[in-house]
Amino acid sequence: MEVVILPGSKQIGKLAAAAIEELLRKKPEAVLGLATGSSPLPVYDELAARHSRGGLDFSRAHAFALDEYVGLEHGHPESYREVIRREFTSRVNIDETNVHTPDGAAEDLPAACRSYEDALQAAGGVDLQLLGVGTDGHIGFNEPGSSLASRTRIKSLIEQTRRDNARFFPGLAAVPHHVVTQGLGTIMEARHVVLVATGARKAPAVRDFVEGPVSAFCPASILQFHPHATILLDEAAASSLKLADFYRHTYEHKPAWQGL
């Protein structure tokens, strides 16, 4: 796990976008793993800017979202399919038929989850997966207690997550109780994982998953087993880390050839 502490979300957006740009230049047909929530927005803004400024080309790229609410009709503005389209894919030249989201409106959810896993495999797996983290340590919608080996499936949301996400809905009652999400085992197969966390509210979850034990109780802690996980934090999100100075020192002295 590489922990990089930066002054703010602008710098985080630039660094993550630079890694995605480098990937796309080397591999134009790369498969990107997309996340929703506020944390990845500076990355999407920077990618959109690089696309319109310098012609960063997404025309051959593929994208897979992490998760989706169950019970929202297709086209609902807060469905993750729509959020991903609004915040990112509509702002670059990716072919919308190459953008995939788990189908939370399917009649047969287990079958939809299986076919999502199949589509991921058929595309060759995710090259770079963007992640946020929930205040309870969830990634995707893998709440505490999720199997560390889980695959795409239906899950129930913890009340804390429903409350955290209520800001996107008319009120708490409108937040779905069920979701479909890539499993922790699915996410672990991405070749590079880039997790973004900003703000003091994330500091306890960051402390737990970076420096605590690997445990299903803190799902993001599974990333300690990932061979290429990059954790991008602002100062506030990093404020409870014991080894913050060591992470800063390591990043400052990192050989340039290593990249992210």
45 is catalytic: no
Q: Which is nearer to ligand GLP, 140 or 183 (CB)?
A: 140
128, β-bridge pairs:
32, 192
Catalytic residue among 45, 67, 87, 103: 67
Given a contact cutoff of 8 angstroms between Cβ atoms, the answer to whether 15 and 198 are in contact is: no
- The DSSP element (H or E) to which 22 belongs, if any, is helix 9-26
**The only residue of 89, 161, 186, 230 in contact with ligand GLP, by rule CB under 6 A:** 161
* Cα–Cα distances in angstroms (integers) from residue 63 to residues 33, 186, 254, in the given order: 6, 15, 30
Contact between 79 and ligand GLP by CB under 6 A: the answer reads: no
138 is catalytic: yes
The token pair that represents 138 in the structure block: 């969830």
Catalytic residue among 46, 127, 136, 234: 136
Give residues with Cβ within 8 angstroms of 54, minimum separation 6: none
Given a contact cutoff of 8 angstroms between Cβ atoms, the answer to whether 144 and 178 are in contact is: no
CA–CA separation, 191 and 5 (whole Å): 22
Catalytic residue among 143, 164, 208, 234: 143
Task: Show contacts with ligand GLP in window 31-70 (CB under 6 A).
Answer: 35-39, 66-67
Q: Which is nearer to ligand GLP, 77 or 259 (CB)?
A: 77
Segment interacting with ligand GLP, rule: CB under 6 A, options 5-13, 14-22, 131-139, 205-213: 131-139
Sheet (strand 99-100) strand order: 2-6, 229-234, 192-197, 128-131, 31-34, 62-65, 99-100
228 is catalytic: no
Contact between 143 and ligand GLP by CB under 6 A: the answer reads: no
Q: Which is nearer to ligand GLP, 19 or 195 (CB)?
A: 195
Catalytic residue among 51, 138, 192, 226: 138
**The only residue of 4, 133, 175, 187 in contact with ligand GLP, by rule CB under 6 A:** 133
234 is catalytic: no
| CB 144 to ligand GLP: min, Å | 13
Contact between 132 and ligand GLP by CB under 6 A: the answer reads: yes
Q: Which is nearer to ligand GLP, 14 or 60 (CB)?
A: 14
The token pair that represents 38 in the structure block: 């506020």
Q: Which is nearer to ligand GLP, 56 or 141 (CB)?
A: 141
CA–CA separation, 59 and 79 (whole Å): 24
Give residues with Cβ within 8 angstroms of 139, minimum separation 6: 66, 131, 132, 133, 184, 187, 195, 219, 220, 223
Closest residue by Cα to residue 52 from 93, 11, 80? 93
Active site residues: 67, 136, 138, 143
Which spans of this chain sit near ligand GLP (rule: CB under 6 A)? 35-39, 66-67, 132-134, 140-141, 161, 165
